[in-house]
Amino acid sequence: MALRETIVEVAKDVARRAVRVPTVQHLIERAESLANEERNRMGPAEPVAPPSPPPPAVEPLTAPLGQHGKQERYGEYWDFYVDREFPELVQRDASGNTVFTWPGDEWGDEQYWRQSFDKMFKQHVPPESTRFAEIGPGSGKYSLMVLEAWKNATVAAFDVSRSYLKVLEKRCAPLVADGRLRPFVIEDRPDIIDRTAEQLGWAGELDCLYSMDAMVHVDLQYLVAYWLSAARTLRIGGKLIMSVADATSDGGFNKLVGDVPVCFPLQGKMCPKFEWLSPQLVEQVLGRLGFVIEATYNFNHRDFFFVARLERRPTP
């Protein structure tokens, strides 16, 4: 049985049972199980690999293999996800209530979001802060929490997906109307955050730049552009708060290996695969840009969560 057919079979099984969307690791394990059943019908079964460790609590969603690679640009893939995939994934419980309403809410849960926010933001960002920039706000979970906790703050929200920004504007309409949440699309120029900060009068005065659960999909070549912008637009002492995929963690290594059957056939085509880093790499690169890691956290046994403080401007 082909891998794509087994994954489709798993997806149909999930739909029949009306359970929560499975993790990538679960899809792979079910696909292997179905493949073993097929081999049993055809002859002696091949040895089965030992079971993988439990997957981390927070996993990304993936489209069927046939849908990956059809979008040429990163933003186009996430437009496709918001417009085409997410509506098909919305589930309801036995009472008919929607399990999740906004795209992005299917990854993680309220406890995880609140725990990470309380520890990374509330414990490290001064209460008088007013200027925030967010990369990859999605539908606005963290935008809402920031603007609730910092009553006088404004958030400039940057995303590669125009469809996600439309959802953000709908979910947070009163805040957008009041000017406290300002959406901006990320296009080709790497200095979009710098130029926007200048337009807002924030150049060198930004209190916090953050991105949660989004940079796991962004490779280092693009990520460093955001780090450079952070080093130029943050005030000295300002905070950079992020989560990135850590291949050296137990959950990260498990996912790195487990995603091979899903990602390898795509041969580099556009898809939501993870882009792997390590704590040492993050610390070394940020150190050269003038940052010091102030705190690190482990909320899901897979990603590297960090708070970095700008100590000096990078050398031009």
pLDDT tens digits, 26-35: 444 544 554 4
- What pLDDT, on a 0 to 100 scale, did the predictor assign at position 264? 92
Predicted confidence (pLDDT) at residue 206 exceeds the cutoff of 60: yes
Q: What angle do CA 127, 132, 133 make, to 5 degrees?
A: 155
Per-residue pLDDT, averaged over 240-260, amounts to 96
- What pLDDT, on a 0 to 100 scale, did the predictor assign at position 60? 42
Q: Of the candidates 83, 313, 309, which has an alpha carbon nearest to the alpha carbon of residue 209?
A: 309
Predicted confidence (pLDDT) at residue 231 exceeds the cutoff of 50: yes
Q: How far, in whole angstroms, is CA 203 from its chain's centroid?
A: 26
Residue 241 phi/psi, 5-degree rounding, is: -120, 125
Mind listing the pLDDT tens digit for each residue in 271-291? Answer: 789 999 999 999 999 999 999
Q: Which of 6-10, 39-43, 55-59, 165-169 has the highest mean pLDDT?
A: 165-169
Distance of alpha carbon 258 from alpha carbon 100, whole angstroms: 26
**Which residues, in sequence order, are CB contacts of 270 under 8 Å at separation 6+?**
68, 69, 70, 71, 72, 73, 74, 76, 77
Per-residue pLDDT, averaged over 299-315, amounts to 94
Predicted confidence (pLDDT) at residue 44 exceeds the cutoff of 50: no
Give the C-alpha distances (Å, rounded to integers) separating 17 from 57, 94, 98: 21, 12, 16
Domain ranges of the chain: 1-51, 110-310
For the chain, how far is it from start to end, CA to CA, in angstroms? Answer: 56
How would CATH label the architecture of 110-310? 3-Layer(aba) Sandwich (3.40)
